[in-house]
Amino acid sequence: MNNQAIVAADTLFARAYRVFAYFGLMTVFASQLHGFRYDDGAPASNYLFNIALYAVYMSVHLLMTRGWFKRTIWGNPAGTPAERRVYITIAVLGWLAVLVLHRPVPGPTVWFRQDWKLVSAAVDFAALVGFLWCLLLFFQGATREGLDGLVGVPGALQRYSHGPETPLFVEGPYAKVRHPMYRAAILAGSCSLLMHPHAGQLLWIAMLGGTFLAFIPVEEAQLLAARGDDYRRYCEVTQYRLFRGVW
With beta carbons less than 8 A apart as the criterion, state whether 161 and 118 touch.
Answer: no
Locate the domains of the chain by residue range: 3-237
* CATH fold of 3-237: Four Helix Bundle (Hemerythrin (Met), subunit A) (1.20.120)
Residues 91-108 as b/e (b if ≥16 CB within 10 A, e otherwise) read bbebbeebbeebbbbbbe
CA distances from 165 to 178, 216, 240 (A): 19, 20, 25
69's CB contacts (< 8 A; 6+ apart) are 63
3-state SS, residue 38: strand
Residue 68: pLDDT band by 50, 70, 90 thresholds? confident
Task: Output the pLDDT for position 183.
Answer: 95
With beta carbons less than 8 A apart as the criterion, state whether 104 and 200 touch.
Answer: yes
With beta carbons less than 8 A apart as the criterion, state whether 166 and 160 touch.
Answer: yes
- Across all residues in the chain, what is the average pLDDT? 88
- The 10s digit of each residue's pLDDT in 177-228 is 999 999 999 999 999 999 999 999 999 999 999 999 998 998 898 888 888 8
Q: What is the spatial distance between Cα 189 and Cα 206, in angstroms, rounded to a whole number?
A: 9
- The 10s digit of each residue's pLDDT in 7-60 is 444 688 889 999 999 999 999 999 999 999 999 999 999 999 999 999 999 999
